[in-house]
Amino acid sequence: MTEARKAGNQRSLKGQMRVIEAVMASLIVVSAVAFLYLFAATPSSQSQETSELEKIGHNVLHDMDEQRLLTRFVYNSEWTNLTSALFVSLPTNVYFNLSIYDVNGRAISHPLMQYGNNQVFVSSKAVASVAYIVPGYQTSYSPRVMVLKLVRG
């Protein structure tokens, strides 16, 4: 009788050990999966974000060009108007910096045309850059390359 009880106790202990083993094995599997998720590559949003900002930038410059405002601002040096037009036309959370070059890549002298401080452009991971060319004003052919940098605030 005593022998039988001992054997029963041993089996009971074995059963408990199996439960503990199963719990430990499950914990190992779950922690391994969790650990792997830490290293899982998150899909990058930067290219998507940059692409969207490029579309927004091109859209705004194109619309201003369509309304014949862009060439007037650029060739008549209406820099304040150009900055204001971009300020009201771009979405409210988008900062911009505009530079203008001639066809040889030489910068055209103009005051700073920017909304947002420099730090925004330096620290942002997704800076979009849109190049837009205006060929000339009225009958004169004198192309200008506008480079509009955009970041989301």
Partner 1 sequence: MTGEAYDHLMAAVVLGVIFIAAVFIVPSLSYVNLLYMEQQQLQNIGLSAMKTILFDEGYPANWGSMHGTNMFNESDVKRFGLADSGDSSLYVLDPNKVQRLANNPLGNISYAKVKELLGLSGYDFSIVLRPLFNVARNVAIQRATNEQTATITWNANVSRQDGQPVPKAIVCPTVIYAVDLNPGFETRTVQSRTETDSLGRCQGSTVVSVTGNGKIKDVIVIFRVTVADRATIVVSSQDTQDPGDIAKINVVGDTIVLTLPEDVPGSNDARWITNIQLYNYETSVNLLNGSGTGNEYKLNYGSLILWSQAFAGLDSTEPGVLIITFRTETLGPGGRTLAILIGPWALWNQGGIMRFNPVPVGSGASASIERDVIIAGMAYVAELRLWKS
Binding site for partner 1 (CB under 8 A): 8, 11-12, 15-16, 18-19, 22-23, 26, 29-30, 33-34, 37, 40, 42-43, 45, 48, 52, 55-56, 59-60, 62-64, 66-67, 69, 72-73, 78, 80-85, 87-89, 91-93
Residues 89 and 63 sit within 8 Å (Cβ to Cβ)? yes
Cα distance from N-terminal residue to C-terminal residue, the chain = 80
Least distance in angstroms from the C-beta of 84 to partner 1: 4
Residue with smaller CB distance to partner 1, 10 or 118: 10
How far is 115 from 84, CA to CA, in rounded Å? 10
Least distance in angstroms from the C-beta of 106 to partner 1: 26
Q: Which residues contact 144 (CB under 8 A, 6 or more apart)?
A: 74, 75, 100, 101, 102, 108, 133, 134
What stretch of H or E contains 56? helix 46-66
Least distance in angstroms from the C-beta of 16 to partner 1: 6
Least distance in angstroms from the C-beta of 37 to partner 1: 5
How far is 45 from 49, CA to CA, in rounded Å? 6
Q: How many CB atoms lie within 10 A of CB 38?
A: 6
Residue with smaller CB distance to partner 1, 27 or 108: 27
Residue with smaller CB distance to partner 1, 33 or 122: 33
Least distance in angstroms from the C-beta of 10 to partner 1: 11
Residue with smaller CB distance to partner 1, 52 or 126: 52
Residue with smaller CB distance to partner 1, 61 or 127: 61
Write out the DSSP string of 76-110.
Answer: TT-HHHHHHHHHHHS-TTEEEEEEEEETTSPBPP-
